[in-house]
Amino acid sequence: MTKDDSPVLIYTTFARLDDAKRVGDALVAAKLAACVNIFPGMISIYEWKGAREAADEVAMIIKTRRSLADAVLAETKHLHPYELPALLVLPTEGGSDEYCGWIVGQTGSGS
């Protein structure tokens, strides 16, 4: 497996479960993600435009490969309802060869 094929996780959040499902489905359908995990019921506390905020949110982890990270970021930002979505690429360390191979097989064309 090449470095470009190594798995990365992309973290983002949504205000609504329906939006997370819509974006996740689009990413998997486009073969930009092998899988997305959606975690409803999260509470976020942050400052936005000078005011302290607390909001119910939905977290999403997008499983893809390094070579597709920029495309996933661009498509997620395009589909995302937030003005400034949280988008973080998290590198991984190892993993089972079979699972990492599955991610490669489910996303784009293999290297």
Domain presence at residue 97: yes
Structural domain boundaries enclosing 72: 3-106
Q: Which of 109, 110, 107 is nearest to 30 (CA)?
A: 107
Torsion angle defined by CA atoms of residues 95, 34, 19 and 26, in that order, rounded to the nearest 10 degrees: 160
- 68 DSSP 8-state letter: G
Q: Which two tokens mark 55?
A: 């909001």
Q: Say whether pTM exceeds 0.75.
A: yes
Q: Residue 12 sits in a domain of what CATH number?
A: 3.30.70.120
**For 51-97, what is each residue's pLDDT tens digit?**
999 999 999 999 999 999 999 999 999 999 999 999 999 999 988 99
Position 3 scores a pLDDT of 81
Position 102 scores a pLDDT of 96
> What does the alpha-carbon distance between residue 98 and residue 101 come to, in Å, rounded to a whole number?
5
Domain presence at residue 55: yes
Position 109 scores a pLDDT of 64
